[in-house]
Amino acid sequence: MWIIFVNYLCPFLNLTMYLLSEKENLCLYALPNKTWVVNLPVEEVPQELSELTLGINFARDGMQEKDLLSLVVVHNNSWLLSVVFYFGAQFGFGKSER
């Protein structure tokens, strides 16, 4: 479970720093070497990259910082839950395997 935490939660902990930056139109990229990069969008996305999330800081200008961070937490938590359930089903973290 520690590997799942490091690979999937840590990138989102650093994401809030980018959400509050002055750059606009930032995208979150997952690279094949299991690292994450927040950068400006490119015109053509290479096939080896996972699907990017466009405009991770669009809502920043019209929201208070507290509300923006709450929105980020809600989206991150729902995404993390889906990842946990996926790996739970994939790797058999059922009651009999504990």
DSSP letter string, 64-85: -HHHHHHHHHHHHHHHHHHHHH
Q: Can you read off the two tokens belonging to residue 43?
A: 């015109």
The reply to whether the predicted model has a pTM over 0.75 is: no
The whole-number average pLDDT for the span 59-88 is 71
Rounded CA separation 84/69 (Å): 22
> Does position 27 have pLDDT exceeding 60, yes or no?
yes
Rounded CA separation 49/2 (Å): 24
79-89 in b/e burial notation, b at 16+ Cβ within 10 A?
eeeeeeeeeee
Beta-carbon count within 10 A of 15 CB: 19
First to last CA, the chain: 12
| Total count of domains within the chain | 1
> Does position 17 have pLDDT exceeding 70, yes or no?
no
**Rounded percentage of the chain residues whose pLDDT exceeds 70:** 27
The whole-number average pLDDT for the span 50-57 is 51
Question: What domain range is 17 assigned to?
Answer: 2-97
Q: Which pLDDT does position 50 carry in this prediction?
A: 46
